[in-house]
Structure 1
Amino acid sequence: MASSSPETRIADDHLALELTVRDLDSPVLDAAASTTTVSSSDEIIPLLNQNQRPRINIFSASYTRRKPREQVIKVTESEISPVTQFASWVWSGSRYSGLLCMAFSSVLYLIMEIVSDTFSVQPIPLFETAFMRCTIILILSYFWLRRTGQPVFGPVHARKLLVSRALVGYLSLFSFIFSIQMLPLSQAIVLSFLNPVMASIAVRVVLHEKLKISDIGGLACSFFGVLFIFGPALSVQVGSEGRNENLKGNHHIYAFLLGLFSSITGGITYCLIKAAAKASEQPVLTVLSFGLVACPAAAICMLSFENFVLPAFETLISMIILGLLAFCAEVLLARGLQLERISKAANILYIEVVLSQLWIVSTGKAQSSSLFSRLLGCLLILVSVSYTVYLGPAKDNE
């Protein structure tokens, strides 16, 4: 009892020191204190000793899970092919994406022209060709939307624009097919390249988009380049017009007006594509809506105005390839119009003329008498397009 009295007295006087004061002469208390010290040290040391970190705790567990996640991300990024990265960059990864989409759309149209000239082994009526191409476009755009989980008919507020785009677009295609059958090829081509000019005029009325002097100058320069390129062919065909029965009298005037109508409706179509793509936030919907209208309409015209021709195997493969290229070109065109101002995006389409002429010159198909005018026209178009890219989307991109 005597051994515990100092501890009790000290505990009464200094209550805060009760756990640390003990009698050194008491073996019982010494054993109890040593046991308490060992047990308390085992519980306190992991929390107090920072130099000896425990093997497993919540911090080490979370740290070990972070490294595999970073490794998975790095492996996933390394597995993406350069082609996929480049396509993603062209689609939306650059501030020049709108102009790039228009440029690649023009390149695809050029490839279609080369494929059509090189691998065409059987003449196919134009409406039958249009029906085949529109069918492929419809199927591919449908599967695109289903794969990405997008609504097939688009949002409700954009359906009027989609329907208008489809109707006006097919009206332009319908009139162009008739005009190209009645007009000389060079005249039909020149009228078709009025589409960008008409689009820049129509966008001021339809979408109230401002048309700058630089845009007007660029489009005028590009179109004058087209006239320089096809000018000699136009003069030759106009001189031989009297010998062509299809172009006598009023037939040529009607065909010219029909081609001009195709250009005007084509320009309006560009405006509707831009409006519908921005409203629906999905440019593929504009391609699908066109296919929904163009397929049955082309089938009706094919059965009404032409005789159906069963294509051979090689011709069928060529038509399928052209349909695939047309789908990609239409999607890129819609994406470019969605991202960029029409006056700038439409001017990029003249790259197709330059590339086509360079291809003709490289293959030796160009006549030496018209070589200078071809090169001069290509130079005018390149200057105009380069100036458009130089001004570019940094200031005008919406």
Structure 2
Amino acid sequence: MLLLVAAAQLAFSFMNVVIELLDRNTPVPITTIQIVAVRMAITYAGSTSWMLWRKIPNPFIGPPEVRRLLVARGVAGFFGLFAVYYSLGYMTLSDSTTLTFLTPALTGLFAHLFLGETFTERELLAALASLVGVIFITWPSFLFGVGENDISGERVLAWEIKETHVALGVSLLGVTGAAAAYTIISAIGRRAHAVHMVAYLSGASLIATISGMIFFRIPFVFPSTFRSFVYLISAGVLGCIGQTLLSIGLQGEKAGRGSLVMFLQIIFSGLVDRLTFVHPDRLPFFSFLGSVIILLAAYFGTVRSPRPISSLLSFS
């Protein structure tokens, strides 16, 4: 199951590269909210079509006993997704990425508090060590200052204090939403098919993004070239594959343990990005060190340990 979670991170990494290719090769810019809407439309169509083809019961609304949990999974997952894209409007890529990777530790804590899952010292230490690895790779400006060390190498936005605080709050809300979504997947377990969870997430996100485009009068931009059309559709397909693999992997694994593997995405993204684009690495040593820390922490955290985190909280 952990291999499926890792495969999902690879799919998401390719998706991010395709989105960057779309941005570079589209004469008329396509808004982020439209990209998310198209991605989720493809995901919803693919997931429901697959369930109809496989004759899975209740393909559109899921099993009766877990429908509320499925709705909660969809809503929480959308907030996690929305926060990432929103924060990029006011924060650097490195800052947003670093905050996003608070999710695994919070997922393990949520699963321990609400589901009674064992959250081991090993898993906590692995999550914290992986976060240190992410910091070495992304070199976030809120720790090291804004300037040449921004790994994106493209742009650093000037913030107003109020906007920065709002973006930080939204990012933390997104981290909470993502952790809640992963915990809910574990709570649902085998009572619903994993593709049901994908359908609810994509359905909730599709409703929210289309509503946002209508409310804010954001025009829908049709791809002006065949290449940009292929990139847009490819992003949707890769997103669908990634969400499906992630849901299947988390469904059969402890929430906290499974979420640790998500740290691999930053390594996959870096490798795929460097094979596709020419991005000078200003901090090659720290990037390498961060990658090694993440790989070791992922291995360390996914090896089962009998000692629960509750022992750390005991004063006896």
Same fold (TM over 0.5): yes
Q: Measured at CA, do residues 181 and 149 of structure 1 come closer, stay the same or move farther in structure 2, by a change above 3 Å?
A: same
Q: Which amino acid aligns with 1:379?
A: V
| CA distance in 2: counterparts of 1:168 and 1:367, whole angstroms | 36
Partner residue of 1:145?
51
Normalising to structure 1: TM-score of the pair?
A: 0.68
> For 1:182, what is the secondary structure of its paired residue?
coil
Change (3 A) 1:214 1:110: same
1:294 aligns with 2:197: no
Decide whether the 8 Å contact of 1:175 with 1:261 is kept in 2: yes
Query: Which of 150, 154, 160 does residue 62 from structure 2 map onto?
Result: 154
* Residue identity matched to 2:90: M
The equivalent residue for 2:311 is none
State the shift of 1:232 in Å: 6.1
**For residue 139 of structure 1, what is the amino acid of its counterpart?**
A
Paired residue type of 2:11: L
Tell me how far apart the structure 2 counterparts of residues 136 and 372 of structure 1 sit (CA, whole Å): 39
CA distance in 2, matches of 1:298, 1:368: 35
SS of alignment partner, residue 283 of structure 2: helix
Aligned to 2:314: none
Asked if 1 retains the 8 angstrom alpha-carbon contact of 2:90 and 2:157, the reply is: no
Residues in 2 aligned to 1:111 and 1:362: alpha-carbon distance in whole angstroms: 11
Q: Which of 208, 216, 224 is the matching residue for 2:132? A: 224
- Give runs of aligned pairs for residues 319-398 of structure 1, distance below 5 A: 319-360=232-273, 365-367=278-280, 369-389=282-302, 391-392=303-304
**Matched-pair contact (CA < 8 Å) for 1:277–1:286:** no
Contact 1:228 1:373 in 2 (8 A): yes
Alignment root-mean-square deviation, CA? 2.7
Quick one: which of 166, 169, 184 aligns to 1:254? Answer: 166
Shift of 1:373: 0.6
Larger-gyration structure (1/2): 1
- Aligned pairs for 1:225-240 (under 5 A) are 225-231=133-139, 235-237=144-146
Alignment of 1:264-279 (within 5 A): 264-279=176-191
Distance change (3 Å), C-alpha of 1:373 and 1:248:
same
For residues 305 and 187 of structure 2, what CA distance do their matches in structure 1 show? 18
Secondary structure at the residue paired with 1:323? helix
Cα offsets for 1:353-391 (capped at 9, x unmatched): 1122234555684545411110110010111122234x2
Match of 2:223 in 1: 311
- TM normalised by structure 2 equals 0.85
1:15-56 CA distances to partner (integer Å, 9 max, x unpaired)? xxxxxxxxxxxxxxxxxxxxxxxxxxxxxxxxxxxxxxxxxx
Question: Measured at CA, do residues 116 and 260 of structure 1 come closer, stay the same or move farther in structure 2, by a change above 3 Å?
Answer: same
Q: 1:395 to 1:200 in 2, by over 3 A?
A: closer
Q: Is this contact kept in 2: 1:106–1:329, CA < 8 A?
A: yes
After superposition, the Cα gap between the structure-2 partners of 1:358 and 1:336, relative to the gap in structure 1 and judged at 3 Å, is same
How many residues are treated as equivalent by the alignment?
296
Give the drift of 1:321: 0.9
**Runs of 5+ consecutive residues of structure 1 not aligned to the other structure:** 1-97
Deviation at 1:352, TM superposition (A): 1.4
Alpha-carbon distance in 1 for matches of 2:82, 2:268: 26
**In 1, distance between residues paired with 2:253 and 2:245?**
12
Deviates more, 1:136-145 or 1:176-185: 176-185
Partner residue in 2 for 1:131: 37
CA gap 1:180/1:245 in 2 versus in 1, 3 angstroms: closer
Are 1:340 and 1:393, in contact at CA under 8 Å, matched by a contact in 2?
no
Question: 2:103·2:176 contact (CA, 8 Å) conserved in 1?
Answer: yes
Partner-residue secondary structure (3-state), 1:183: coil
Aligned residue runs from structure 1 range 72-111, under 5 A = 98-111=1-14
Structure 1 residue matching 2:89: 3-state secondary structure = helix
- Identity within the alignment, %: 23
Q: Is the 8 A contact 1:278 1:338 kept in 2?
A: yes
Q: 1:380 to 1:368 in 2, by over 3 A?
A: same
| Alpha carbons 1:232, 1:370 under 8 Å: kept | no
Amino acid at match of 2:114: V
Question: 2:80 touches 2:173 (CA, 8 Å); kept in 1?
Answer: yes
Aligned-partner residue type, residue 333 of structure 1: L
- Aligned residue type for 2:195: V
Deviations 1:280-333 (A, max 9, x none): 2x1000011122222121101122333332222322221111111111110111
